[in-house]
Structure 1
Amino acid sequence: MAHGAGLHTALDTSGFLGVRATDALLRDADLVLLDIKSWDRETYRKVTGRPLRPTLDFAQRLADLGKEVHLRFVLVPGLTDARENIEGVAAFAGSLGNVSRVDVLPFHKLGEAKWQALDMNFTLHDTPVADGGADGRGEGDFRGAGTDGGLTPVDLVRPNDRYDITG
């Protein structure tokens, strides 16, 4: 229906429930926006409360289907910014063959008020806001990953970036 109206469709997911996505759903999606929070399994569980394996399995399923993926990775100071962690996500993304873009996103606290409104503990309250990757951390690791000599383009998204969504 969306394609008939000339609309591009995207599935935005952490991949954890990807096993529930039917082949028909995935056929109808033009693009999958996939978040991989961490390569380190303990850090992933700490951040999400869930195991990493279902996300990796879903990413591999998307690769097997040839479904285009834009991968997103958040740099959280002191949590996900270890070189081994970044290199692990980058190598995995590069091995898939269907990742056409990587967004390295700086950690921010814009959702903290939502946690407070729900009377929930925002466990990252004391975590410093990322500097937007001004030093290039993460970006180079993704550029050099993959069997084809690198994932491109890699966008290092900075907090003050503006996007034109009308074009």
Structure 2
Amino acid sequence: MNVDRLGGPVLSLFRIVVGLLFAFHGMASLFGVFGGSHGSGGHSIAVGTWPGWYAALIQLICGALVLIGLLTRPAAILASGSMAYAYFTVHVEKGIIPLQNGGEPAAMFCWAFLLIAVFGPGVWAVDSLVSRSRSAVTARTADPRPETATTA
């Protein structure tokens, strides 16, 4: 078995799962579904509440983009940064160690999205499909074969 062959699909599966979980977290906070956001008892966050509502919107949008692999790197950078912000503004006040301050999800999402931003979306992504399409068009338009002249 060629382990190198598994890299793209495994990275894609990792990206899909992380994006789905992040989007679910955003939906839980925005709409009060799936058990609601942390500490809300199944209720949604009031529209426009800083920073929770905006964080949930980032979670939903970036999670969905990462899930399908569209604009993956920018979405992953924004998601990673938002989780770093959450960790250092909400959780670190309760202690530096994530296990003690309840910041494990924020820390894990932060590092997972950083990995996705660095390594890209994998082979099963809209970004990869677009890239392959562009490469095929470029290859066709840059055909190195010279024109053949016809003489009458």
What range is the shorter-chain TM-score in?
A: under 0.3
Name the structure, 1 or 2, with higher relative contact order (CA <8 Å, separation 6+).
2
How does the TM-score come out when normalised to structure 2?
0.28
Structure exhibiting the larger radius of gyration computed from Cα positions = 2
